Chains A and B, each alone.
Chain A
Amino acid sequence: MTSSQNIPKSIIGGLLALFVSTSVFSADITHALRNNTQDKATTENYFELGLGAGIGRAPSLTDDDATWAAPYWVINGSYNWNGLFVEKYGESSDPILLGYNAYESEDWSLDIIIGPNFSGLHFDDKFEDLDDRNSSTMFGGRLTGYLGDNVVQFSVKHDISGNSHGTSASALVGRNWQVRNWNFHSLIGLQFFDSRINDYYHGINDAEASRTEFTRYNPGSNFNATAEVGVTYPVTENWVFRSTARFSTVSDADMDSPIFETTSSTRTSLRTSITYVF
Chain B
Amino acid sequence: MLTLLRIKKIKISLLVGYLITTLCLIMASNVYASSADTTNTTNTNDVAHLEVSPEQCIALRKGQKCYLEVTFSWRHPQVRDYCLVNITTNKTIKCWDRQTKGEFNFDFQSTLSHDFALRVKGATVDLAHARIPVAWVYKSSKRAKSTWRLF
A51-B21, A51-B22 are contacts. A36–B60 as well, Cβ < 8 Å? Answer: yes
Chain A: which residue is nearest B63 at the CB level? A39
With CB as the reference atom, state the residue of chain B lying closest to A102: B150
B98 beta carbon closer than 8 Å to chain A: no
Instruction: Please tell me if the beta carbons of A68 and B11 are within 8 angstroms of each other in the complex.
Output: yes
Evaluate contact between B11 and A40: CB separation under 8 angstroms: no
Q: Find chain B residues with CB under 8 A from A241 CB.
A: 26
Asked whether, in the complex, the Cβ of B66 is within 8 Å of the Cβ of A235, the reply is no
Indicate whether A39 sits within 8 Å of B142 (C-beta atoms), given known contacts A51-B21, A102-B149. yes
Is A53's CB under 8 angstroms from B15's CB? yes
Q: Is A35 an interface residue (CB 8 A)?
A: yes
Residue B123 lies at the interface, judged by CB distance under 8 Å to chain A: no
The segment from B45-53, B86-94, B114-122, B132-140 found at the interface with A is: B132-140
Number of residue pairs A-B, CB distance < 8 angstroms: 142
Closest to B107 in A: A180
Judging by beta carbons under 8 Å apart, are B10 and A8 in contact? yes
Is B7 engaged at the interface, CB distance under 8 Å to the other chain?
yes
> Across the interface, which residues of B come within 8 angstroms of A234, CB to CB?
58-60, 136-137
Given known pairs A44-B141, A235-B26, the reply for A35 and B60 (CB within 8 Å) is yes
Complex contact A44–B138 (CB within 8 A): yes
CA A181 – CA B135 in complex, angstroms? 12
Interface residue from B18, B25, B148 paired with A103 (Cβ < 8 Å): B148
Q: How far is the CB of A44 from chain B (nearest CB, A)?
A: 4
Q: Contacting chain B: which of A128-136, A165-173, A269-277?
A: A269-277
Q: Does A46 contact B (CB under 8 A)?
A: yes
| With known contacts A103-B147, A236-B58, A274–B7 Cβ distance under 8 A | no
Instruction: Tell me if A106 is interfacial: C-beta within 8 Å of chain B.
Output: yes
Distance (Å) between the CB of B148 and the closest chain A CB?
5
A55 at the interface (CB under 8 A from B): yes
* Chain A hits for B25, CB < 8 A: 51, 239, 274
A170 to B77, CA, bound (A): 68
Closest Cβ neighbor of B148 among chain A residues: A103
Whether the Cβ atoms of B61 and A41 lie closer than 8 Å is yes
Provide the main secondary structure of the chain A interface: strand
Q: Secondary structure at chain B's binding surface: helix, strand, loop or mixed?
A: mixed
Assign chain B's interface to a size class: 35 or more
Q: Which residue of A lies closest to B15 (CB)?
A: A69
Question: Which residue in A53, A232, A237 is a CB contact (below 8 Å) of B22?
Answer: A53
Among A53, A67, A237, which residue has its beta carbon within 8 angstroms of that of B137?
Answer: A237
Is B67 among interface residues, defined by CB-CB distance under 8 A?
yes
**A208 CB-CB contact with B under 8 Å:** no
**B12 contacts chain A at the CB level, 8 A cutoff:** yes
Considering the complex, which residues of chain B in the window 33-58 have a beta carbon less than 8 Å from any beta carbon of chain A? 33, 36, 56, 58
A240 to B33, CA, bound (A): 13
Contacts of A35 in B (CB 8 A): 60-61, 138, 140
Q: Is A220 an interface residue (CB 8 A)?
A: no
Q: For the complex, is B125 an interface residue (Cβ under 8 Å from A)?
A: no
**Is A272 a contact of B149 with CB atoms below 8 Å?**
no
Is B105 an interface position by the 8 A CB rule? Answer: no
Task: Give residues of chain A (73-96) contacting chain B, Cβ–Cβ below 8 Å.
Answer: 83
| Interface pairs (21), CB distance under 8 Å | A7-B14, A35-B138, A41-B142, A44-B139, A44-B141, A51-B21, A53-B18, A65-B4, A69-B11, A69-B12, A71-B14, A71-B18, A100-B150, A102-B151, A181-B58, A181-B67, A234-B58, A235-B29, A235-B58, A240-B60, A241-B26
